[in-house]
A and B are shown apart, each in its own frame.
Chain A
C-alpha cells in the first residue's frame, strides 16, 4: 500500500522496481525448485507412457470402481482453477480492491490448473491418442458426438473455460507487459514488445480496454459456476447412490472455490516471502482472503450436512446405506480426515489473530488442499465401491502408476507456476498504481 507521505511518481517507480526485481537473476534455490518439479513431471509423463504401452490394467481401477484417482485428480485440478476466476472476475465486478494483489497469480494458477486438469480425461481414456473423438467433427462414419452426455458437456465447458481464462489473464497483463518491455533488453525486449502488442496507453486503447475487461469478467463469472456444475453433473446425472443428488452443482462450485482459495495461499505466501513483496501483499489482504476461505468452508460443511439429511429424509434405502458406508465403511478414515481438514480445522479462522498469521494460513492451506482432494476421492470411490447389487461390490486401492501420475501433475503445475514468476510480472502493477491514488 502507498504510504501517505509518499508522492505518486516515487511510489510508482518503487512499485515497478520491486516487482521487476522478482524477474531478475534466479537464485540457485529457484533452479533446484524448477528442476525438482520438472523431474516429477517427467516421471509422471514416463508413467503415462508406460500405462499406454501396457494398458490400463497397470492402474488400480477395476470393476466396479472404474473411476479412481484419475477422475479425482481431474475434479481436483478443475476445482483449483476456480478460485482464480473468482478472485479475478467476481471480486472485480464486486469492486473488492483486495483482489489486486492476488489476481495475477490466481489467474496464472487458473490457466495452469486447467491445463493440468485437461490431461486427466486423456490419461483416463486408455487409448489417449483417440482423444479427438470427443470433439464433434465430420468423420468417415458420419457420426456425431452425443450431446446428451455430461462428458461431452465437460469437453465444451472445460475447453471454453481454458480459452476464456487464458484470454482474461493475457488481457489483464498487456499494460504490465508494456512496463516490463521498458526495462528489458536484448531478445527479451523483442519478446515483451510483441506480447505487449504495441501498447502505449493512449485514450483510445484505454477506452476499449476497460470495457473489454468488464465484459470478460462478466462472461467469466457465470462461466466459472457453469464449469464446476457440469463437472458435478458427470456424477449427478447418473443413478448411483451418493452421486444422484440435486445439491451437487452448488456443492461442487463452493468446494472448488474453497480448494482454489487454499491453493492461492499455498502459492502466494512463499512467493511473497521469496520476492519480498510484503509491502504490497499485506496482512490485511490475507485477512480478507482467509474470510473467503472460512466462508466457503462453511458452505461446504453445510453441503455435507444437506447430503446426509437428504439421504435419510428421502427414505431411499440404497441412499441411506451408501451414506452410512461413507461415514463408517472402508474409506472412513479418509472421510474423517476430510471432515477435519475441510470443516473443523477452518473454523479456527473465526479467530482474528489466526487469520492474520501468515504461517498459520500457509499450514491451513495445505490441510485444505489435502481435505479437498480426499473429498473428491471419497465421493467418487465410495459411491462406486458399493452400489445396488452386493455381487457388484468391490474395493479400490490406487497402484503406483496412479500415484506417480498424480505427483507428476503436481510437478507440472508447480513447474509452470515457477516459470511464470520469472518471466511475467507477478502482481498487477497497473491496477495497484490505479488503486494507490484513489
Chain B
C-alpha cells in the first residue's frame, strides 16, 4: 500500500475519493479507513450489500426449526399429559421457537460478522492499525492502473 492520502474532514476525503475513482483507478484497489461509517464512500466505491444477511437468515431459520423440532421431539420422547392438553401443543411451542429464532439468528449473525470482516485479528490486536480521526485512502499496487 504505497499511496496514502489522509484527511481530517469527511468533506475533503470524499472529494479526493471521487477524483480518484474518476481518474480510473480500479475501485477494488482503493481501501479506505474512516472513524465512522461513510455511506457516500460506499456508494462511490460501489460496495455491494454485505452477504451477512445470509448468515442472519440461516441462523434465524435454524433457530426456528430447532425450536419446533426440540419441543416436539422431547414431548414425544417421554409423553406426559399436562393439563389435558395434547402431547404436542404447537401454540405453546411457538414461544420457545420464536425465542430460539432470535437467539440463533443473533448469535450466528455475530459469528458471520467476525468471519466476514476478519475479526478478531491477532496481528492487529498485537499491533493496532489505527488512524485516529483521519480519513485514510490506500491504493494497492500503484502503477498497475
Residues of A within 8 A of B (CB): 7-9, 12-13, 16, 136, 142-149, 152-153, 156-157, 159-160, 163-164, 167-168, 171, 175, 178, 181-182, 193-194, 196-212, 215-216, 219-220, 222-223, 226, 230, 430-431, 433-434, 437
Is the pair B130, A182 in contact by a Cβ cutoff of 8 Å?
Answer: yes
Q: Are A215 and B56 in contact (CB-based, < 8 A)?
A: yes
Asked if B122 is at the interface of the complex by the 8 Å CB criterion, the answer is yes
Does B26 belong to the interface (CB within 8 Å)?
no
Residues of chain A with a CB closer than 8 A to B109's CB: 212, 215-216, 219
Contact A202 B71 (CB under 8 A): no
Give the most central of B50, B102, B109: most A CB within 10 Å: B102
Contact A203 B31 (CB under 8 A): yes
A-B interface contact total, Cβ < 8 Å: 188
A66 to B104, CA, bound (A): 35
Structural contact, B95 and A226, CB atoms closer than 8 A: yes
In Å, the complex CA distance between A166 and B38 comes to 26
Minimum-distance CB pairs A-B, first 5 = A198-B124, A198-B121, A144-B74, A197-B120, A9-B8
Chain A residues whose CB sits within 8 angstroms of the CB of B112 once the complex forms: 208, 212
Interchain CB contact under 8 A, B121 and A181: no
**Which residues on the A side are within 8 Å of B85 (C-beta)?**
148
Whether the pair A160, B102 counts as a contact (CB closer than 8 A) is yes
The answer to whether B5 has its CB under 8 Å from any CB of chain A is no
Establish whether residues B117 and A205, one from each chain, have CB atoms under 8 Å apart when the complex forms.
Answer: yes
Q: Which residue in A156, A198, A201, A430 is a CB contact (below 8 Å) of B96?
A: A156
- CB-CB under 8 A from B100, the residues of chain A are 156, 160
**Bound form: Cα–Cα A147–B99 in Å:** 13
- In the complex, what distance in Å separates the CA atom of A7 from the CA atom of B8? 10
Closest partner residue, chain A, to B129 (CB atom): A200
Bound CA–CA A156/B124 (angstroms): 37
Verify A12–B129 contact, CB threshold 8 A.
Answer: no
B15 contacts the other chain (CB 8 A): no
| CB atoms of B130 and A181 under 8 A apart | yes
Q: A153-B95, A167-B110, A203-B47 are in contact. Are A8 and B9 (CB under 8 A)?
A: yes
Task: Assess whether B119 is in contact with A219, with CB atoms less than 8 Å apart.
Answer: no
A7-B9, A148-B83, A211-B53 known; A156+B95 contact, CB < 8 A: yes
Cβ contacts B109-129/A at 8 Å (1 or 0 each)? 110111011111111111011
Complex: A194 Cα to B119 Cα, angstroms: 11
Determine how close the nearest CB of chain B comes to the CB of A156; give it in whole angstroms. Answer: 4
Q: List 19 A-B contacts (CB under 8 A).
A: A8-B10, A9-B8, A146-B82, A153-B99, A182-B128, A182-B130, A193-B126, A198-B119, A198-B129, A200-B131, A203-B33, A205-B119, A206-B38, A208-B52, A210-B50, A216-B106, A226-B95, A430-B36, A434-B37
| Most chain A CB inside 10 Å of its own CB: which residue of B53, B82, B103, B117 | B117
Kindly identify which residue among B49, B114, B133 contacts A9, using a CB–CB cutoff of 8 Å.
Answer: B133
A142 cross-chain contacts in B, Cβ below 8 A: 77-78
Chain A CB within 10 Å — which of B45, B52, B85, B89 has the most?
B52
A209 to B37 alpha-carbon distance, docked (Å): 9
Q: Does B107 contact A (CB under 8 A)?
A: yes
**Contact in complex: B128, A434 (CB < 8 Å):** no
